[in-house]
């Protein structure tokens, strides 16, 4: 069963349009591929940001050290 994104009704897995609200519920394969590629790029950017933040933190002076 496929759940409609709009009205949350259950539909058979082979339908393209919701039987209750008549909205499109099929997602084209090209959009799924694009979503997966974007998610992969997002994850890579998050990892790069994490590494850069670690490098910046390593360059900062320690907050616990007191200069007299």
Classify 10 as helix, strand or coil.
strand
In a domain, 52, yes or no: yes
Q: What angle do CA 18, 20, 26 make, to 5 degrees?
A: 5
Q: Total domain count for the chain?
A: 1
Domain extent, residue 10, equals 2-59
Q: What is the pTM of this model?
A: 0.57
**Residues 6+ positions from 66 with CB-CB distance below 8 Å:** none
| In contact, 26 and 5? CB cutoff 8 Å | no
In a domain, 65, yes or no: no
Per-residue pLDDT tens for 2-60?
A: 899 899 999 998 899 999 999 998 888 889 899 999 999 999 999 999 999 999 999 99
2 burial class (0-12, 13-18, 19+ CB within 10 angstroms)?
middle
> Structure tokens of 65?
């050290």
């Amino acid at each position: 069963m496929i759940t409609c994104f709009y009205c949350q009704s259950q539909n058979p897995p082979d339908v393209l349009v919701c039987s209750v609200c008549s909205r499109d519920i099929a997602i084209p394969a090209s959009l799924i591929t694009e979503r997966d590629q974007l998610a992969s790029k997002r994850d890579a950017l998050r990892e790069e940001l994490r590494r850069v933040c670690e490098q910046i933190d390593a360059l900062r002076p320690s907050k616990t050290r007191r200069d007299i």
